[in-house]
Structures are given as C-alpha cells and as structure tokens.
A and B are shown apart, each in its own frame.
Chain A
C-alpha cells in the first residue's frame, strides 16, 4: 500500500442523550462510532459499507470534524485533527473534502454555480481574485460541466449534474482526501454509473484518496481498492475489495454479499441468500460481546463473552470474529 495519508486510531463518536430543560440529565449514550481504526493510503479508494444506522455517515462526519470526536485520533498528513484548534482545522480542510449524499440538499439554492465554486477559492485564498473565474471554469470542465452554465442556479440542473457541481466544490481546494457519503444513492440508476466513473477517474488522475460510503456492495466493488464493512459503529471486516466480496469471512459480510443480485438468471436462481433474523440492535444499548451475535447464524456462547477485536486473518485482511477460521472451513 502507498504511503498512509489518513490514519484513524480508536475513533469513537458518542452522542449523549439528555432530557429535561436547562438542567439536563444524562440518560444514555448513542455509540454511533465505537472504536474505529483504519488507514487510508495515498491514491487509495476505500469502500465503507454497512446498513443504515451503522455509523458510516457519522464516521465520515467525524473524519471531517463536523461532529466532535469523543475519543481516539484522526491523523491527516501527520496532524491530529481530533479536537484540534480552529486554525489547524482550517488548514486541514484544504486537504480533505466531502461529497454529500443528496445533491438536492447539499448545494445552496440561492447561490449560482460560480458563487458556490468561487467561495472556497476566495475564503482560502487558493488563487488570486483575478484567476477565480478561470479556475471555476476549469473545475467545471474537470467534472464534465460546460463553463457556460456557471451563472445558473442549482435548481436548473438535474440530480447528476448537481452531484457533479458538488464534486467540483470538493475539488476546489485541491484536497488529498475526499469522503463521499453515498454520493450516488440519491441518483437514478442510469446516472449512478456516470458519477462513479467520474469519481474513479478523478482519483486516478489526481492521485486522490477516496473514502466511498455506500450501503450497496455491488457499487463499492466497482470502485474500491479495499473494503471496510461496518456493523454497529465498528469495523468487522477489512480487506482488498475482490477478496472481501468473493470470499467474505465475517458472518455479517457473508450475509451482505449473499444479498447482491447477479445479472445471470441461472446463477441468480441458485443464489443462496443468508437472511439475518431480527433488526440491527440499538447503538444505545448494544448486546454484550460481539454486537452481531443475536443475528449471527454461527453464534456460540463464546461470542457473548467478549467483544472480538479486529484481528489479522490473513495478510491484508482483518476480521472481527472469534470463529472466523472455523467458519471459513465450513
């Protein structure tokens, strides 16, 4: 793997639940992200998958420092961002940007494309004011939009075009890492591939690192070098995209992979779906031991005893399951 650019160590993001007026009582904690350790290399595309509510988006917002980090470190380019000073953070923001899920909500409806793209350039003083116009035009071309649309407003574009504007905005500061939080799930299927290809192509061309969040493994497989699977605030499996999807080791990943439909009807007919019973447990009060054990078809008494750490399974491959090797032989 190339040089590590972003290193998360034991990152926890907990939200207190309080009740009462003024004198707030602490009544519980949502452990949205609960101890994530992860490294992203320069130019690497890391896919982050998991079901709704597993903490993917919170992890993205924690990395971006949009929500305060409860514990752990987020080291970008040798600088720890977790609860660092505002000035340091401002500098770090040039290296790290985010593309949001809903292109209908992530662009200010009152600002033209030009104003949206020029704002970061001006605020960070990326280029002299005289060159802003040329730079905006260049950004628009980079994402496949004609610069003649720069005085138009977001509502005059389609969803895919808006997402291109959002990508251009993320690129404006020439970051090294981009976090894309389900960037295609709000788009038509026909447009999804275009945006995915655009992202993949930009990463290759600019040697960008990309954390690509999705709840759909087939989308992730298409674009990622490595895949991390999240369940209830923790990473349960991490490894090369092909290996994880073709030979999933964690029971949860197995269930996810089994849910990918195949376009070949013969294969599709014989596909064995692993249907997980029940709902994901509450992150306020997670089950003892392995958080997945109440739904796991392979659970034993040992699973309730302790939280399994994300351990090396084979080179480049981490799995958080005490029975991973036994299950692999089944």
Chain B
C-alpha cells in the first residue's frame, strides 16, 4: 500500500516524458557547491574507510603491547608513535574510531527512530495525546544526563550496548520536539487537506505526505546529533563510564593522552586532531545540508 512513486511504462505516452528535478536533486546540486560541506563529506568518507579497513593492513593489534619500547614518538615502524604500554597509536586510533563512529551512528539511529515516530504521532494527532506525550518529554528532559547514565551503569554493569541505549534514550527527546513541530506545521497545509479530501488513510498521509516533507530538518538534525553523541561517548569514557580497556575509543585515547600530555604530547595531539576533524566535518556537512534543504532558499 505504501508503494513509492510508481514508475511509468513508456508505451502509453507518445511524446518523450521530460524528467523532473525533485527538490532532493536541487538540494544535492546546492550541497555540491558548498565547499565546506564537500570537504566534510570527503573527510568523513576517508576517516570511515580508514577505520574500517585500516586494521586489516596493519601489523599490530590494538592490544599488542611492547613494554620494552614504551611510549615512543612517531617513527617509521609506528607512524603515530606508541603509548606507554608500547601499543601502536595508529591501530588504536582505527579501533577507537570504529567504536566512536559506531556509537555515534547507532545511538543516533536509536534517537532517530524513537524521536521521529514519537514526534510524528504527537504532532499529527495533537490535542490531549500531544499534551501528555510532550509533557513526558519535558519531564525526561529535566533529568540530569550523567546521573541517568551512572544509574544505568550501576544497575546493569558496564556494557557498550547499554551505552548506545543510554545516549539514544536521551537524544531522541530533541528529535521528537523537532519532528512534532514540523509535523504540526505541515499538517495544516492545503495538500494535507487535499489528501484527506481524496480519502487517503492516516498511515498514508503520515508516511507519504507528511514525513517526506519533514525529512529535511530530520536529516540536518541527524548529522548534527552524531557529533553530539560522539562527544557524549568521549565524555563518559573520560569519566571512566564508557568503553573499557584494552578496547579503545577516541574518548578513551584523548583521556589517556591528556593525562600524559606533558611527557608524550603525540598521545593527545593525534587522537584530538582526528576527533576534532570528524566533529568539524559532521558539523560542516550538517550546516551544508541545512542550507541546501532549506525550503525558503529553494525556488518556488
């Protein structure tokens, strides 16, 4: 029933059918002109590929220690140097990147799926249901996040899955608010009334007519959520609540590096640079997407 736009068999129309440019296509053209956003996309692509495939071509594992070597500055054998236990920093950066990116993506996905559905329901049905749902969000907003996470960790033990859930469970609140507001404004538009006049079902109206029109803000907010989530993971790891050794994440590496930055500055500089670069890239991409998808700037 929720079939996407049906394709047109060419036979019935004699004249050649002109292809239209969807708003998505226009947005893509605008995005491509934004240099910072393009830079962000490339940087993210390279970092992701490196983190995924880098460890496969490296000679060291993330927990292979070389206590004789200890902390060594960058060299031909260890391009980014080693930490105090003689572990190769580059390999640990790759593995840490996998964890950080995975946390960022999956927690954002959790936030996205809960937030969009919740916000769309509250916004579409409105009235008392909306009031109850959104006041619940307000109450959850007021809970202090670190205490929430610490409680979770105390009750359920340290677990990386739990970390995703904890972060996702907090981040969806903002997403729900954004989606609700957008749905409320779209739902009053005449094309929704037209859809109701045509006798379309609620599901079809929500998924075919409303959500595609709020996708822009959702995409933008998603790209801006990922860095937020990665920062949270770093923050939790910094507090010792996140990823546990010998596994690494960028947050863990930065924490370790910060402790020894006076003696072995490269342990802070490299993870810090990569992490900042990723966050910058995501933010540039998010800003670029916001400009590209903004309805006001699209031709009318």
Contacts and interface: CB of A to CB of B under 8 A. Distances in A.
A64 B6 CA distance: 28
A111 B12 contact: no
Interface residues of B, number: 41
A56 B200 CA distance: 24
A110 B201 CA distance: 18
Nearest to A137: B13
A113 B13 CA distance: 15
A112 B212 CA distance: 13
A99 to B, nearest CB: 9
A123 B208 CA distance: 13
Interface in A34-84: 61, 64, 66
Contacts of A112: 5, 20, 22
What is the size category of the interface that chain A forms with chain B? Answer: 35 or more
Interface in A94-135: 94, 97-98, 100-102, 104-115, 118-120, 122-124, 129, 132-134
Among B6, B8, B195, B198, find the residue whose CB has the most chain A CB atoms closer than 10 A.
Answer: B198
Contacts of A122: 3, 6
B98 to A, nearest CB: 35
B18 A148 contact: yes
A89 interface: yes
A133 B12 contact: yes
B68 interface: no
A137 B300 CA distance: 25
B299 interface: yes
B204 interface: yes
Contacts of B3: 122
Given A122-B3, A133-B13, A146-B15, 11 more contacts: A22-B131, A98-B194, A106-B190, A108-B195, A108-B212, A148-B17, A149-B20, A150-B13, A152-B18, A153-B20, A156-B20
Interface of B: 3, 5-6, 8-9, 12-13, 15-24, 128, 131-132, 189-191, 193-201, 204, 208-209, 212-213, 295, 298-300
